[in-house]
Amino acid sequence: MELILKNDLPHQVKAYTAIANVLSNDLIQKNSLYYQNPTLLLDRQALMTNLALVQKDNNIPAEYKAFNEIGSYLNLDIKMETGTGKTYVYTHIIYELHKRYGVNKFVVAVPTLPIKAGAKQFMGDPYVQRHFKETRGYNANIELCELKAMTVKKGKRYFPSVVRNFVEGSNQNTNKIYVLLVNMSLLTSGKLLSRDDYDFGVQGFYRPFNAIRVTKPFVIIDEPHRFQREQQAYKKIEEELAPQCIIRLGATFPQITTGRGKNRVTQTDYLNLLYDLNACQAFSQNLIKGVAKEHFEPLSSANEKVKIIAIDGKNSVSVKHISGTAASRSFRLEKGDSFSVVSEELSGLTIFGIGTGFIQLSNGQEKKTGEEFTVDIFSASYQEQMLRLALQRHFETERKNFDRNIKIKTLALFFIDYIDSYRGGWLKEMFERLLGERLDNELKNPDNSDEYNVFLQASLADLSACHAGYFAQDNADTDEAIAEEVNDILHNKKKLLAFKDVDGNFNTRRFLFSKWTLKEGWDNPNIFTIVKLRSSGSDNSKIQEVGRGLRLPVDEYGNRIGNEEFMLNYIVDFTEAEFANQLVAEINGSLPQATPGILSHKDLARVALQKNMDEMELMMALYSKKYIVDTKLTLNQTLLDDFYTEYPEFNVMGISGGKVIDKNKKVSNTVKVRAAKFEEIKELWSAINKKYILFFHREVDEMIRKDLPELLKEGVFSHQELTSIRQEVQAGDNQMGVVSDVGVTYLIKGRKLPYETF
């Protein structure tokens, strides 16, 4: 299958044309040297005029325009939410600038190797090249020059061949565009680009940085928040590459802080922002999936914690077990010791290593002196229920996607802490056991189609084929099966999305395991469930965390499905219970802020239109009811609740989009009683609504004396319920909000609380 690229998606057209329209032919001057880009004339007045026109067309708020003085190069910014096609857009920018202005030398700078691999895969894909040449009408091909670290052979210093090819690419060859793809570490570390003692050079230059600079490149920066202007990587781009233009594209931009004390101000570091496709717009316009966060509450209300009290050199560690139902206890542990002596729920957790001021746990986490961690999230019972919940949500989605006229392959992604728990460890065994149980249960569903049952039976016949893992350590592994898994996840997206292999057999691989290695630079459009097992409560951008699964899905023929609403299930532990609220706060915090306590005339006009009223008529109605206090539309703060109750259209936290949900909080339902009908059952209601007292015969006392001691030996609460909380992020007209829905409840067997503790 091929992933079919869509033509003329409005949000993508606006982005690439914004860049192209800032320039104009009278600002472009051809060069006589064949290896150079045309020169961009930095005419401040002309460029500022063009910038203002583009920003006006794209409704860029005044506080985000961020005009910067044009110095030795031009800065241009495009903000696009994760999953909306950023790589496609900057590739389109490359083709468009070449077509309009003859620019044929671009440097694409990315922060990490996974992002680099994704960019290489996209720009180098023959189908992508055909799309831009045949469908989009660009009579040119990209020659991709991927810069890699080199090992210098003894006695030989070869000039990097990809730099040579990039520099010597001729502007007289009008159907070639040369793109040098480089990751951050190659700009800042080592001497690959900075040394000048190579045996041979190019165009008289023996220092690669100098050779690239002379081409007068245009630089495209992917993930600009990773290239802050005060950091070394950005300075290397400015000073060593001397670009004519830097184009930054990303969902997140750096933050800069100016002033001190009361005058301290933090703002987003935009440099001539031309297009802003923010998360709220992306959710509202169904350009990405919605998000449904779900977590289980703790197994117990005891709030058990383990605190690192002191670390004795590299020999031992003192820890304290803290519980809300018992006195604190202290323990001294050494390397290799199990935390099961602290709590039986931690039987699988050991001390892997002890360093200066920190310990390393067997799950890969590090804890410093004074840090605490909650017992329940390391409990095997808790982990098992998270896996059960993930499988339930996956199969709910998979069944719907399979039964479509044109099917969608449904994938799930599990983030874990510790590779050994998956590669032959307890987690892999537990997952396969739970998957087998779930498949048995799904096969009993009478509503399944015959074909779906065959797919499920193929899954059940080979559970290990259903899942795969990728971890950084796998790159050095010689196991062929592991190598195939890694290749499928990292590089063979099309194979992973296919239902059948070349022989016509079902391809059941759809559950993927990894550490946060895949956090950036990798995505798959058909990820419908993401699970963070044993989360550490990351402080990363929340929108970045869910970014691996936000892209809209493709069907079995590779077509992007953009005319429907889809939901990403995001399952975390209870330490991240506030994830949905934090995600909404992050999204709303990035929006242009209206004046607090004042209605906008835009909202007044919108609501008046909805109510089929004149704006003045609506304003006078609000004033007469004392909801506003003046003609500036200032809200009466004492009547806000009444105002939003009577005029919910003004409440921009509306739930029209249905984009972030809390699935576990139960929604209260108010039932209206019809008086006439109640009269018919009033007598019956009175009878069944009476309270009764039961009196037992004395024989029961003897039974209690005889049997109670034996009952107490058994303990109490032998079964326990674990309930999930599910929240969905929803998009209103101007802001995001969180709404609640009902989650699931599982029964955990065999958890007994000793009577003395009870």
**For residue range 528-559, what is the model confidence (pLDDT) as tens digits?**
999 988 655 455 667 777 778 889 999 999 99
Inform me whether the pLDDT recorded for 198 exceeds 80: yes
Does 54 share its domain with 158?
A: yes
> The pTM is what?
0.75
**What share of the chain in percent tops pLDDT 70?**
81
Whether 457 maps to a domain, the answer reads: yes
Is there a single domain that holds both residue 161 and residue 66? yes
Indicate whether 603 pLDDT > 90: no
At how many degrees (to 10) do helices 86-101 and 113-123 cross? 50
Max avg pLDDT among 239-248, 362-371, 738-747: 239-248
Residue 754 forms part of a structural domain: no
Top pLDDT among 92 and 595 is at: 92
Between the alpha carbon of residue 74 and those of residues 70, 200, 468, 611, the distances in Å are: 6, 33, 45, 47
Query: What DSSP line would sit under 170-224, residue for residue?
Result: -TT-TTEEEEEEEEHHHHHSSSTTT----SS-BTTB-SHHHHHHTT--EEEEESG
What integer best gives the mean pLDDT of the chain? 83
Q: Choose the final residue of a domain: 565, 589, 613.
A: 589
Do 358 and 435 belong to one domain?
Answer: no
Specify if 149 maps to a domain.
yes
Kindly state whether residues 317 and 214 are assigned to the same domain: no
Give the pLDDT score at 758: 47
Q: What is the pLDDT of residue 478?
A: 56
Which tops the pLDDT comparison, 479 or 717? Answer: 479
* Whether 248 and 108 share a structural domain: yes
pLDDT of res. 301: 58
From 217-231, 321-335, 691-705, the region with the lowest mean pLDDT: 691-705
Q: What is the mean pLDDT of residues 585-612?
A: 74
Tell me whether residue 722 is in a domain. Answer: no
Q: The domain that contains 173 carries what CATH number?
A: 3.40.50.300
> Span 225-238, mean pLDDT?
94
Residues 486, 491, 495, CA angle at the centre, nearest 5°? 90
In a domain, 751, yes or no: no
Same domain, 202 and 124: yes
**C-alpha dihedral, 149 to 151 to 155 to 159, nearest 10°:** -20
409-447 tens-digit pLDDT: 999 999 887 777 787 777 889 899 999 999 999 999 999
Last residue of a domain, one of 589, 611, 636: 589
pLDDT score of 144 more than 90: yes
What pLDDT score was predicted for residue 86? 93
Least-confidence region, from 42-56, 294-308, 325-339: 294-308
Q: Are 319 and 457 within one domain?
A: no
User: How much is the pLDDT for 431?
Assistant: 94
Boundary residue ending a domain (343, 378, 413) = 378
At 667, is the pLDDT very low, low, confident or very high (cuts 50, 70, 90)? very low
Q: Are residues 530 and 639 in the same domain?
A: no
671/665 Cα distance (integer angstroms): 19
- Domain co-membership, 350 together with 322: yes
pLDDT > 80? residue 227: yes
Q: H helices of 216-268, where?
A: 232-236
- 718 CB neighbour count, 10 Å cutoff: 11
**pLDDT at residue 305 greater than cutoff 90:** no
Q: Report the domain count for the chain.
A: 4
204 is in which domain, residue-wise? 13-277
Residue 724 pLDDT more than 80? no
Per the structure block, which two tokens stand in for 35? 């290896």
Residue 65: inside a domain: yes
Rounded to an integer, what is the distance from CA 40 to the centroid of its chain? 37
Residues 64 and 190 in one domain: yes
* Residue 703 φ/ψ region, left for φ over 0, alpha for ψ in the -120 to 50 degree band, beta for the rest: alpha
CATH number where 502 lies: 3.40.50
Q: Are residues 238 and 341 in the same domain?
A: no
Per-residue confidence (pLDDT) for residue 150, from 0 to 100 = 80
Judgement on whether residues 310 and 389 belong to the same structural domain of the protein: no
Residue 677: predicted pLDDT: 64
571 pLDDT above the threshold of 70: yes
pLDDT of 494 higher than 70: yes
Average pLDDT over residues 284-311: 80
Residue 657 has pLDDT above 50, yes or no: no
Q: Is residue 569 part of a domain?
A: yes
Going by pLDDT thresholds of 50, 70 and 90, the confidence category of residue 668 is: very low
Distance CA 83, CA 79 (A): 12
Q: What is the pLDDT of residue 382?
A: 74
The answer as to whether 431 is a domain residue is yes
Average pLDDT over residues 200-223: 93
pLDDT confidence of residue 113: 84
Of the candidate ranges 331-335, 405-409, 440-444, the one whose mean pLDDT is the lowest: 331-335
* DSSP letter, residue 237: I
Segment among 62-66, 567-571, 592-596, 608-612 with least mean pLDDT: 592-596
